[in-house]
Amino acid sequence: MAFIPYGRQYVDDDDVAAVVKVLRGDWLTQGPNVADFEEAFAQKVGARFAVSFSNGTAALHGAYYAAGVGKGDQVITSPMTFVATANAARFLGAHVRFVDVDPSTLCMDPDRLQEMVSPRTKVIAPVSYAGYPVPLDKITAVARSVGAIVVEDACHALGASREGGMVGAQADMTVFSFHPVKHITTAEGGMVTTNNEELARRLRLFRSHGVERDPSRMSRNDGPWYYEMVDLGYNYRLTDIQCALGLSQLAKLDRFVQARRRIARRYAELLKGVPPVGLPPHHPGHSYHLYPIRVPAERRRDVFEALRREGVGVQVHYLPVHMHPYYKDLYGIPDDDLPNALNYYRETISLPMFPSLEDHEQDRVVELLSSYLG
């Protein structure tokens, strides 16, 4: 029986043709596809600006830089995320604090956030875990009360929406990833969206060596060749080849999200017959990057191993970030300081979830679960 991964890209002939066309043209990087992809992306999520990056981690790094994060500042995030959300704050010398998750969303609990903020809080970085659009109202109010900026890590949540709009249009900045398991892919790739022109300018500066080319912002101007470097930046650019793929993938986003939602509804229906399984939190605007279920903690490992043995590529998302050795050495936060994240980690298994997952494959996953848990 064919191996079923937990996630995989969907790339078709249009995508291939779009990439080949760039390869035969004049610009492999920094050509017209970059601005076209950014513009189409901004329009899709309803934001004024979109700035592309070479991957989602670079995009997070750029967003924290644009927010003004520096040495000794505090960045507050959720422990239930990929390590990059915290790491990118460490790149800038910030202290990372973790707020436990609300079990009804698996995203940052805004009531606990209130107790953790201080005048040193520069960024609050909630994570829209699995594609559930993190409720932003309270988080934004807390951020405003201390002058912090909200950077939503929406690497799981492209295509998701909440009251008042799409994910990508509401936080001060929203970060996306185009890794192959995410909603759309450019192989590696990332994006930051914002409605704030100054933040967009700082994002672009950071992406390309801190080089300023706008004559009105330069300290002098020696001639038409002249540019100057005003801050330490990186080469975090996305290529024209990748942006052409991104454009072609973006045109399929609605179909991808519909397919993911259909698969989620079908799992919910099929899993009704498997009583010890807990379903992921529901939200009408959920875009289902993942489909993580909960099983009794004492059965999790056996069930996981059995599914893997049967060729189902289940995964666990995630070991809470504060429990990784690097963060344990740095902060020494006891595992059970964040009990909701810890309990969730002990019980969760991510089932296969990607647009081309077929009904018979899904049936098989549920049958296997049911036979090992029933």
Ligand X SMILES: *Cc1c(COP(=O)(O)O)cnc(C)c1O
Residues catalogued as catalytic: 182
Shortest separation between residue 90's beta carbon and ligand X, angstroms = 14
β strands within 92-207, DSSP E: 95-98, 101-102, 107-108, 121-125, 149-153, 161-162, 165-166, 173-177, 190-194
Nearer to ligand X, 179 or 322 (CB): 179
Residue 333 CA to its chain's centroid (Å): 24
Contact 8, 356 (CB under 8 A): yes
Q: Interface with ligand X by CB under 6 A: which residues?
A: 55-57, 81-82, 84-85, 127, 153, 155-156, 177, 179, 190
* Alpha-carbon separation of residue 198 from 29, 66, 145, 173, 194 (angstroms): 25, 9, 21, 12, 10
Q: Bridge partners of 108?
A: 101
CA–CA dist 78, 127 (Å, integer): 6
Indicate the residue among 106 and 155 with the shorter CB distance to ligand X: 155
Q: Which is nearer to ligand X, 132 or 368 (CB)?
A: 132
CA dihedral 95, 96, 99, 104 (to 10 degrees): 160
Q: How far is the CB of 155 from ligand X (least distance, A)?
A: 3
Q: Which is nearer to ligand X, 179 or 252 (CB)?
A: 179
Q: C-beta of 291: minimal distance to ligand X in Å? A: 14
Question: C-beta of 153: minimal distance to ligand X in Å?
Answer: 5
E-strand stretches of the chain: 49-53, 74-77, 95-98, 101-102, 107-108, 121-125, 149-153, 161-162, 165-166, 173-177, 190-194, 211-212, 228-229, 291-294, 348-351
**Closest to ligand X by CB, 188 or 212:** 188
Q: Which residue is nearest to ligand X (CB)?
A: 56
Minimum Å distance from CB 176 to ligand X? Answer: 9
